[in-house]
């Protein structure tokens, strides 16, 4: 430097520039569970964006990855149990760096087998019971760890291929937010949930006649309260080699509710509401009846909505109840957010499916016996779910790219949903038991991720000679309770018979106390310890002079509820590998006839015939005709009454 007189001087400085200390927040990460979607955001405390992140020591839990150049996202689907320690390194725009040590604890889900109680068997009659794993990831390794199966029975696990076919023809339960961050407003009455006005005029149905030739391929019906997309339907039809028709269900578009006769001509029905249904309760009830008759239903986006937010839109009726719909809405949530498949599906629903996404998806939770198959990346919500028998699937989206912003393999996804049973693996106990008795055993099982569990079971095997001895088991409401009536073909066979009551079909069971009387060879007893309007289950525990025990039932009846109509209530199990129980009701004294027919209409067996007093009845078909065991296949149970005939299908398998 130089001053005003020209004098010179100099000084030396040293400037030290250091980087800020870059820490990561939060300091610890939450734990996770195998097969769950994991999503955690980590943010740097200092530095200048953009940032780059990497794992510089240890390893992430299998299934997780890093993404982001501002904040860091650690996300993915967890696939292994353990404690995983790793160090994240971060470098900012100025090459300043930092690091942080983390660990994530990953636990296994609690895996159980359903049902938890196994049905009885009969000596020298085929037995088959499917056990479905709840939670875990297939395939499963299953072994008998303690005790023993009944002699003649074996254990296997098998993949399931199911064509979803049925007899055709004839009469017959993280909030999603909009981009602005708040809940989307309720749709105005009669307006579509996806926005836009309602067009003038009706939308034409597109229905094709039923072909007698079964080689014509599967038939799928799109029964939508929404617009039709013929190109989408055609893409599915080309995959199944069959027909995909359209029926309009929204009155705003000129639609109505499909009849049971129309539904019965299809193998699979897909429904969803963008507009309100004509009668959403009736629609749901008819779909449940269709499932009961052997059909398959795929529920699409908007079927499960919070009715307080979108009154009048979500589907109702029995199809949305536990036991049918595998999911229910998470209250207070909306469907208006993008979802893209996380790639974690394990069942045949996702066979050949690489990717798919949609601009709308419901926020769902499992209900009843529902199971999840796949999630969406953005919020970990359920992508696909299915009921225990695979007959109802919730496909959480819709494949129309024009209205729903759909991408990817939606046609293949829906074709799979309609044509396969989504249980990835069935654990099957099957064979022909050869000895009567109570057999206790423990099953130990391990899934593909090393997650395991154990469960205790008992199978009661009764002797074939006593299996069909119960000729009458009836229940009916009376003024002071429920009247139970039973009769054996040979009452001398049993030294003691005890009536037991349960809150469910699987118990727990308690003896019913009360006086008994005999009427025309039948034992009559009134259960006075019941509450009106509540359903109870009954069974008989019969003990021979030698001490052998035989169980008959269970049988359901609602206290204080009079029988209102003739009805063929239930066939169980159906399909069956042995005997099948048929429940029917008689509202007034009447002559009725209950019989089994083959596909040609020939009577195979008569189960009840003649005058019957009012009540609920249970008959048993042994799977035999007068000559013995009938072939496997399709049969029909016919109930002829003064009010007409009722017919339901029955399937015998091996």
CA separation (Å) from 308 to 102, 281, 329? 42, 16, 11
pLDDT in tens, 169-206: 332 223 333 333 334 444 555 678 887 655 555 568 99
Quick check: 500 and 510 in contact, CB under 8 A?
yes
Q: Which two tokens stand for residue 181?
A: 């961050």
CA separation (Å) from 121 to 37, 457, 458, 551? 41, 13, 11, 10
Q: Which DSSP letter does residue 530 get?
A: -
Q: Give the CA angle between residues 152, 154, 156 to the nearest 5°.
A: 160
Considering the domain architecture, whether residues 288 and 394 belong to the same structural domain is answered as yes
The enclosing domain of 68 has a CATH number of: 2.60.40.10
> What backbone phi and psi angles, to 5 degrees, belong to 607?
-100, -25
pLDDT in tens, 385-444: 998 778 999 999 999 988 999 999 999 999 999 988 776 456 889 888 888 888 999 999
The residues facing 144 across adjacent strands are 443
| pLDDT in the model for residue 468 | 53
> SS3 for 254?
coil
Give residue 335's region: left, alpha or beta (phi > 0; psi -120 to 50).
alpha
Range of the domain at 153: 113-158+425-462
Quick check: 55 and 74 in contact, CB under 8 A?
no
Q: Of 88, 107, 126, which residue constitutes the final position of a domain? A: 107
Considering the domain architecture, whether residues 263 and 383 belong to the same structural domain is answered as yes
The strand ranges marked E within 504-602 are 509-511, 516-519, 522-527, 535-544, 549-558, 567-572, 580-586, 590-597
- CA atoms of 290 and 520, how far apart (whole Å): 40
* Displacement of CA 474 from its chain's centroid (Å): 32
Considering the domain architecture, whether residues 371 and 248 belong to the same structural domain is answered as yes
Q: Which two tokens stand for residue 373?
A: 């198959």
The enclosing domain of 576 has a CATH number of: 2.60.40.4070
**Residues with pLDDT less than 50, the chain:** 158-186, 212-214, 424
The structural domain count of the chain equals 5
- CA atoms of 130 and 140, how far apart (whole Å): 14
The residue among 579, 552, 571 whose CA lies nearest residue 475 is 552
Has residue 191 been placed in a domain?
A: no
Give residue 416's region: left, alpha or beta (phi > 0; psi -120 to 50).
alpha
Considering the domain architecture, whether residues 252 and 338 belong to the same structural domain is answered as yes
Has residue 170 been placed in a domain?
A: no
Task: Quote the pTM value.
Answer: 0.48
- CA atoms of 18 and 180, how far apart (whole Å): 40
Helix spans in 459-603 (H): 464-467
Considering the domain architecture, whether residues 282 and 400 belong to the same structural domain is answered as yes
Considering the domain architecture, whether residues 484 and 585 belong to the same structural domain is answered as no
Considering the domain architecture, whether residues 379 and 265 belong to the same structural domain is answered as yes
Give residue 422's region: left, alpha or beta (phi > 0; psi -120 to 50).
alpha
The enclosing domain of 365 has a CATH number of: 3.40.50
Q: Which DSSP letter does residue 467 get?
A: H
The residue among 337, 322, 324 whose CA lies nearest residue 367 is 322
Give residue 533's region: left, alpha or beta (phi > 0; psi -120 to 50).
left
Has residue 533 been placed in a domain?
A: yes
Start-to-end Cα distance in the chain = 104
The residue whose two tokens read 């799979």 is: 416
Considering the domain architecture, whether residues 273 and 250 belong to the same structural domain is answered as yes
- CA atoms of 85 and 102, how far apart (whole Å): 6
> SS3 for 280?
helix
Angle separating helix axes 230-240 and 410-419, nearest 10 degrees: 50
The residue among 42, 40, 47, 55 whose CA lies nearest residue 89 is 55
Q: Give the CA angle between residues 238, 242, 245 to the nearest 5°.
A: 95
Considering the domain architecture, whether residues 582 and 444 belong to the same structural domain is answered as no
Considering the domain architecture, whether residues 514 and 582 belong to the same structural domain is answered as no
Has residue 167 been placed in a domain?
A: no
Has residue 49 been placed in a domain?
A: yes
Has residue 620 been placed in a domain?
A: yes
CB atoms within 10 A of CB 550: 23
Helix (H) or strand (E) holding 292: helix 280-292
Helix (H) or strand (E) holding 48: none
Considering the domain architecture, whether residues 293 and 315 belong to the same structural domain is answered as yes
- CA atoms of 232 and 440, how far apart (whole Å): 52
Q: Of 505, 536, 559, which residue constitutes the final position of a domain? A: 559
Q: Of 440, 462, 484, which residue constitutes the final position of a domain? A: 462
Taken in order 313, 400, 168, 170, the sign of the CA dihedral is positive
Considering the domain architecture, whether residues 351 and 432 belong to the same structural domain is answered as no
- CA atoms of 158 and 145, how far apart (whole Å): 19
| pLDDT in the model for residue 605 | 92
Strands 364-366 and 426-431: unpaired
Q: Which two tokens stand for residue 54?
A: 């990497």
């Amino acid at each position: 430097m130089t001053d005003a007189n020209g004098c010179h001087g100099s000084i030396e400085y040293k400037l030290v520039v250091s980087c800020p200390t870059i820490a990561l927040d939060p300091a610890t990460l939450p734990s996770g569970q195998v097969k769950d979607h994991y999503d955690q955001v980590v943010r740097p405390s200092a530095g200048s964006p953009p940032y780059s992140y990497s794992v510089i020591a240890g390893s992430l839990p299998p299934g997780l990855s890093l993404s982001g150049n501002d904040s860091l996202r650690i996300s993915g689907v967890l696939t292994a149990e353990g404690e995983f320690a790793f160090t994240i390194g971060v470098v900012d725009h100025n090459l300043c760096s930092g690091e942080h040590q983390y660990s994530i604890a990953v636990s296994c889900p609690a895996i159980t087998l359903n049902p938890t109680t196994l049905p009885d068997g009969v000596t020298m009659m085929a037995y088959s019971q499917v056990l479905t794993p709840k939670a875990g990831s297939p395939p499963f390794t299953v072994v008998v760890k303690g005790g023993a199966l009944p002699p003649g029975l074996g254990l296997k696990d098998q993949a399931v291929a199911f064509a979803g076919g049925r007899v055709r023809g004839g009469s017959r339960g993280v909030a999603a937010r909009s981009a602005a961050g708040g809940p989307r407003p309720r749709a105005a009455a009669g307006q579509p949930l996806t926005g836009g006005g309602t067009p003038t005029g009706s939308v034409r149905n597109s229905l094709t006649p039923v072909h007698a030739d079964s080689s014509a391929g599967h038939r799928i019906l799109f029964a939508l309260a929404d617009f039709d997309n013929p190109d989408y339907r055609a893409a599915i039809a080309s995959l199944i080699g069959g027909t995909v028709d359209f029926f309009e269900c929204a009155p705003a578009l000129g639609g109505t509710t499909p009849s049971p006769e129309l539904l019965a001509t299809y193998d699979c029905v897909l429904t969803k509401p963008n507009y309100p249904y004509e009668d959403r309760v009736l629609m749901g009830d008819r779909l449940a009846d269709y499932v009961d008759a052997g059909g398959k239903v795929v529920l699409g986006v908007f079927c499960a909505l919070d009715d307080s937010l979108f009154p009048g839109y979500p589907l109702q009726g029995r199809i949305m109840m536990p036991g049918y719909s595998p999911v229910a809405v998470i209250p207070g949530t909306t469907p208006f957010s993008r979802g893209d498949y996380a790639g974690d599906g394990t069942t045949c629903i996702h066979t050949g499916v690489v990717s798919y996404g949609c601009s709308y998806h419901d926020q769902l939770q499992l209900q009843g016996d529902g199971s999840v198959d796949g999630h969406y990346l953005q919020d970990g919500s359920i992508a696909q779910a299915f009921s225990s028998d695979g007959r109802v699937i919730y496909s959480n989206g819709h494949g129309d790219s024009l209205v729903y912003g759909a991408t990817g393999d939606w046609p293949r996804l829906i074709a799979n949903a309609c044509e396969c049973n989504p249980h990835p693996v069935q654990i099957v106990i099957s064979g022909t038991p050869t000895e009567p008795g109570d057999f206790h055993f423990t099953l130990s099982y391990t899934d593909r991720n090393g997650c395991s569990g154990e469960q205790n079971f008992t199978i009661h095997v009764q002797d074939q000679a006593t299996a069909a001895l119960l000729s009458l088991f009836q229940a009916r409401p009376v003024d002071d309770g429920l009247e139970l009536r039973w009769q054996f073909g040979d009452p001398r066979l049993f030294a003691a018979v005890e009536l037991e009551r349960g809150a469910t079909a699987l118990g727990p069971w308690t003896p019913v106390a009360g006086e008994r009387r005999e009427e025309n060879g039948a034992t009559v007893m009134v259960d006075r310890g019941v509450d009106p309007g509540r359903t109870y289950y009954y069974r008989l525990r019969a003990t021979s002079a030698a001490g052998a025990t035989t169980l008959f039932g269970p049988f359901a009846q609602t206290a204080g509820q009079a029988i209102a109509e003739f009805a063929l209530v239930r066939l169980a199990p159906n399909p069956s590998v042995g005997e099948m129980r048929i429940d029917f009701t008689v509202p007034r004294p009447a002559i009725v006839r209950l019989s089994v027919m083959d596909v040609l209409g020939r009577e195979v067996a008569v189960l009840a015939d003649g005058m019957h007093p009012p009540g609920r009845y249970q008959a048993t078909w042994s799977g035999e005709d007068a000559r013995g065991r009938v072939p496997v296949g399709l049969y029909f149970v016919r109930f002829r009454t003064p009010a007409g005939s009722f017919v339901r299908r029955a399937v015998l398998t091996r």
